[in-house]
Homo-oligomer: A and B are copies of this chain.
Amino acid sequence: MTESTLLLKEHHLKATPQRIKIISMIEEHGHITIEDLYKEMLEQFPSVSLATIYKNINQMAQSGLIREIKIPKAKSVFELIKEPHLHIVCDSCGKIEDIPVETENIIKEAEKLSGYKINESFVTLRGTCPECR
């Protein structure tokens, strides 16, 4: 049983070939847009429907397997849910990377200042990557 199949089972989702493919594409790319998922899926499943992508992405997000990351001035990407990390986007080439930066301090301070109980944090930075400078 593949890793994707296992992930699906764990989240009580039927392991269809389309879903397995979606998960492995997300794993492979790290982050991927709906549009790119669809394009790549078409190569292997020429009759796949965009609705299938949307429905599956929504279900997987619902069940906590993946997450949507909204990117400033760009399309959303989807990623597998794993250890906390932040995102950095290159203004020049559009590349998105994860960085394992600790955000505990900020969250603690925000809780103190706001009185909120914080459940999740989204940090996205934009700038220029080393290759583009």
A residues whose Cβ falls under 8 Å from a Cβ of B = 68, 70-73, 86, 88, 90-91, 97, 99-103, 105-107, 109-111, 113-130, 133
Interface SS of A by simple majority: mixed
Residues of B within 8 A of A99 (CB): 110, 113-114
* Distance in Å: Cβ of A74 to nearest Cβ of chain B: 10
Residues of B within 8 A of A110 (CB): 86, 88, 99, 101, 125
* A122/B119 in contact, CB under 8 A: no
Say whether, besides A106-B101, A123-B106, A90 and B116 are in contact (CB < 8 Å): yes
* A101/B91 in contact, CB under 8 A: no
* A127/B119 in contact, CB under 8 A: yes
CA–CA, A71 to B69, complex, Å? 10
* B133/A125 in contact, CB under 8 A: no
Excluding A105-B105, A117-B133, A123-B123, 14 further A-B contacts by CB distance (< 8 Å) are: A70-B72, A88-B114, A91-B119, A99-B114, A100-B113, A114-B130, A115-B130, A117-B127, A117-B128, A119-B127, A121-B125, A121-B126, A122-B122, A122-B125
